[in-house]
Amino acid sequence: MHSPMTRADVVNGAVGPFDDYCDGYGNPGSSGVGYVSVLKLSTGTVAKTMDSVLESIVSYDRAEKNDAYAGQINMVAASSFCGLNGAVWGYDLACHDGLSDGSVKTLMTRRRSDGAEIAVYPVAPLLEAGEALFGTAASRRFPLLPGSHVICATKDVTVSGPTSVWSAIALAIAEDRERDSSLFIEDVGQDIAGDTPAERENALHARMEHIVDSVILCGEDQDVKYKEIFVGFKAEWVPDGYVGCGLTCAPYLVLARNAAPSPPSELLDMTLSQWERRFAPTRLSVDGTGR
């Protein structure tokens, strides 16, 4: 069985009802049954001056608003696939320039069970694309509608310092996207081995190899072949007297109307920088004034 939709059908059906806000997939008013996945990694910390529940809430909310702005939403945890009616922001549409021109270099390669080599790339270009779409807390572009219900592939962890907290994500692109879903793997944790920031970063790079290995195993279990993988992490030291949260997520959403051309499928032939020049030449500050 193959996809009942073309990639153009997916994107044309993934525009929401709001001019300047993206919205969660499955909410009423979208242009069709398509959705867009956006990748985000963040951490957040707060001083230990409250009870543990409140400290967990505040550190999580700070992780939501840090980096690509995904604050003020109701995250609904889901499993981790971008399916036949889904597309990836920064990869399929508004493709990051470094991916479009081939300047992003591989981190490593992995061999599939059939002997084919899989290139593994840094996830940074896809994170940059997500921040370009949403903006930041202080400088917003097309964020998710405040208060909206948003299905996300997500995991988080809350830790008490002194320790390190980290979040990681991998995206594996299916070779046959007319038949199979692409896969998200989310991982979070603490207590990275090492006495210095450099040692801890090296330990996290080694952990990325384990995440890639888990992708290969998941593909073999379901007879899905992946052609390339994106992987990366975000980490922060949590001092004594602080609580930290590590958040990894990929919201499933529909785009703001003003973030898409007519027809929206033109985004499939547009790089991220072309999209920014046409649809987001300026960012908005919190008070709505141009910056």
Tens digit of each residue's pLDDT (9 = 90 or more) over 115-173: 999 999 999 999 999 999 999 999 999 999 999 999 999 999 999 999 999 999 999 99
Active site residue 201: no
What pLDDT is recorded for position 159? 97
Question: pLDDT class for 283, splitting at 50, 70, 90?
Answer: low
Asked if residues 135 and 40 have their Cβ atoms less than 8 Å apart, the reply is no
pLDDT for residue 282: 62
* Nearest alpha carbon to residue 37 among 284, 253, 261: 253
Residue 197 is predicted with a pLDDT of 77
Query: Residue 97: is its pLDDT beyond 70?
Result: yes
Average of per-residue pLDDT across 21-27: 98
pLDDT of 35 over the 90 cut: yes
The two structure tokens encoding residue 83: 């399916």
* Whole-number Å distance between alpha carbons of 172 and 174: 6
pLDDT per residue as tens digits for the range 239-282: 999 999 999 999 999 999 999 999 999 999 999 999 999 998 76
Measured CA distances, 97 to 214, 264, 271, 288 (Å) = 28, 19, 6, 28
Selected catalytic residue, list 55, 131, 186, 228: 186
pLDDT digits (tens, 9 = 90+) for 49-76: 999 999 999 999 999 999 999 999 999 9
Residue 285: its pLDDT value, please?
Answer: 45
Q: Where are the domains of the chain?
A: 7-282
- Which pLDDT score is estimated for 286? 47
CA–CA separation, 67 and 137 (whole Å):
8
Mean pLDDT of 181-191: 95
Q: What is the pTM of this model?
A: 0.95
Cα–Cα distance, 115 to 269 (Å, whole number): 32
Q: Would you say residue 291 has pLDDT above 50?
A: no
Quickly state the pLDDT bin for 288 (edges 50, 70, 90).
very low
For residue 224, pLDDT over 90 is answered with: yes
Q: Which CATH superfamily is domain 7-282 in?
A: Pyruvoyl-Dependent Histidine Decarboxylase, subunit B (3.50.20.10)
Give the integer Cα–Cα distance in Å for 77 and 154.
6
